[in-house]
Amino acid sequence: MAAATANIIRPKPSPLSYSFKSSVPSSKSVLPFSKIPRKLTPSRSLTVSSSLSQSNSASSSVTPTTSSSHDFVSRYAPDEPRKGADILVEALERQGVKVVFAYPGGASMEIHQALTRSKVIRNVLPRHEQGGIFAAEGYARSSGLPGVCIATSGPGATNLVSGLADAMLDSIPVVAITGQVPRRMIGTDAFQETPIVEVSRSITKHNYLVLDVDDIPRIVSEAFFLATSGRQGPVLIDIPKDIQQQLAVPKWNQPLRLPGYMSRLPKDPSEAHLELIVRLISESKKPVLYVGGGCLNSSEELKRFAELTGIPVASTLMGLGSFPNSDPLSLQMLGMHGTVYANYAVDKSDLLLAFGVRFDDRVTGKLEAFASRAKIVHIDIDSAEIGKNKQPHVSICSDVKLALKGINRIMENKGAKLKLNYSAWREELNEQKVKYPLNYKTFEEAIPPQYAIQLLDELTDGNAIISTGVGQHQMWAAQFYKYKKPRQWLTSGGLGAMGFGLPAAIGAAVANPGAVVVDIDGDGSFMMNVQELATISVEKLPIKILLLNNQHLGMVVQWEDRFYKANRAHTYLGNPSSESEIFPNMLKFAEACGIPAARVTKKEYLRAAIQKMLETPGPYLLDVIVPHQEHVLPMIPSGGAFKDVITEGDGRTKY
């Protein structure tokens, strides 16, 4: 029987996707965590299928490099038969998995029984499968290790869909395992049967339907290799229940069958290309760095590059932390809600160094006007992203880390000969920083949400791991918390999935014991996965929840204010019959799960309240009541250009 289904979709080709481009390149050095944040593209899915041609030739097989099981001590004798579920669990152990986020059901019971026999793997039990996959993402985003989640068939599997799409868009290494009905029942509309391989085909880097118990070791090795190599992403493994129950003697260290995928690994960047980039830098007067999630694993090289050149650095939402916000060269975030000075720098630049980015619409706005004066250098690990939205003048398909190392080496060798001096350019940008700082207004005793985040930054010394939901609070957390290092900032970027913050904080707390983990959430997002308070409580995870509660879907309200004459269309989340009271009472949710909680409504009490939250052992919820009239500023309207930037106003003004 076939061991795996090929991951094939046939979308219309993008006009900017060329046939000679690789859609699923992988890091040359096969570093397990070579890259984060990027976007699903049709051509990317098209080529994954070719990576699974079942060639028997030695040249097309690749010895596994993602796990070293030679020193692994199994609890079974080498020739002892064991269930497929036990083979699966041992395969996870051999990949170094220590934690899974798994919710049981009829088709996955065998896996859970096998997990109870493992002395290595801890299961953190979520209260919803979506909570489980978001927690696996939080684990992966904060640690760089692949996150693992497990769900049953049918509704359990479909509850993973938002998380798979989120991991795909943000390039997060996740391995999702689902139970499936027995093989003989597949296609019969059996109880709790959904074709999750078909459902997830375009939102996973690859997926498998296991049809032979002997393939489990190889498939697990391939799944982890695919998830963590090249442009990272989610991989799904669907395992029928009868395969889980079947007895077999596993064959470990089987070669990977990924000839197509392996053949498209990007090569080391050529010296000539790197020299050309250095020459462009030396010729420019107003260069700017535009860095994204692809730089999270290249933070040291990026800092060295900025030190050598003195070029200002603007970050995407996903790239926050790759370059310290406190550095004088930092322009903070660019894009729709980026700083005026970051967007000014890109608009006026004559050289845009785009490293590990995908020219997303929330960054570029009107494409024709974005960096219209600049030559563009684009370095990315995924060739499908190069030229997809914005045509570069020079491009390199490579791991950004390798490219930066090469550029830094060339510049160090040239030394003073380069004569780089951008002091006038930096002074021009410093004037913009003074003229258009990030700011906000205070109205009497009301708590500005931006002030709450500033206080949190101050009281944690900028060292907390921050997760968020999606909306206004997410943007304020991006603007007003000063991130110092990579993997401090966990947010749903490409998909914008509400409900992400709380379970992501669970994954981060499990991966980083001893770290301060704060979920900055909005009341709308928080309610979407509020059940995960139970997991936080029983697992005794010291997660702090800073809930910015404005009783509305704040970002939608902002757009209503700006573009729909403030007509409220189902964006009020409170109780319409009693608008003067806070509804629902978030403190009761915390109380029901045995979590300490408090509410603060006045600015003068906020500092003490946040201090108490941070000092209280274990989890804590602080319900911060903020006005719904606040707007996230600056704002470049969707499809707009830098000239359209909005810097003033809120919901108290009519437009």
Burial class (CB in 10 A: 0-12, 13-18, 19+), 378: buried
- The residue type of 95 is Q
For the question of residue 443 being annotated catalytic, the response is no
> Cα-flanking dihedrals φ and ψ of residue 384, to 5°?
-65, -20
Residues 6+ apart with CB under 8 A from 258: 51, 52, 62, 222, 225, 226
Could you tell me how many helices (H) and strands (E) the chain has, helices first?
24, 20
Where does residue 633 fall: left (phi above 0), alpha (psi -120 to 50 degrees), or beta otherwise? beta
* Two structure tokens written together for 610: 């946040």
Is 254 part of the annotated catalytic residue set?
no
Given 192, 303, 539, 591, the catalytic residue: 192
Secondary-structure breakdown of the chain: helix, strand, coil percentages, each rounded to the nearest 5: 40, 15, 45
Nearest to 287 by CA among 271, 306, 315: 306
Q: Of these residues, 129, 385, 532, 630, which one is catalytic?
A: 129
**Active-site position among 168, 333, 527, 555:** 555
The two structure tokens encoding residue 594: 């045995």
Q: How many other CB atoms are there within 10 angstroms of residue 20's CB atom?
A: 5
> What is the C-alpha separation between 208 and 408, in angstroms, rounded?
41
Q: How far is C-alpha 41 from the geometric centre of its chain's CA atoms? A: 16
Q: Is 493 helix (H, G, I), strand (E, B) or coil?
A: coil
Catalytic residue among 21, 39, 83, 241: 241
Residue 288, φ and ψ in degrees, nearest 5:
-145, 145
Write down the catalytic residue from 54, 80, 191, 251. Answer: 191
Q: Is 241 a catalytic residue?
A: yes
DSSP strand pairing (313-315 vs 287-291) = parallel
Cα–Cα distance list, 411 to 167, 376, 407 (Å): 36, 19, 6
Q: What's the rounded Cα separation, in Å, for the pair 340 and 643?
A: 10
| Residue matched to tokens 């880390």 | 401
Q: Find out whether 212 and 1 touch, Cβ atoms under 8 Å.
A: yes
CA 281 to chain centre: 30
- Provide the angle, in degrees to the nearest 10, between the axes of the packed helices 216-228 and 84-94: 40
Name residues whose C-beta falls within 8 Å of residue 642's C-beta, 6 or more positions apart in sequence.
Answer: 343, 344, 346, 347, 365, 369, 636
CA distance 144 to 343: 30
Q: Backbone phi, then psi, for 291, in 5-degree steps?
A: -115, 145
Active site residues: 129, 191-192, 241, 555
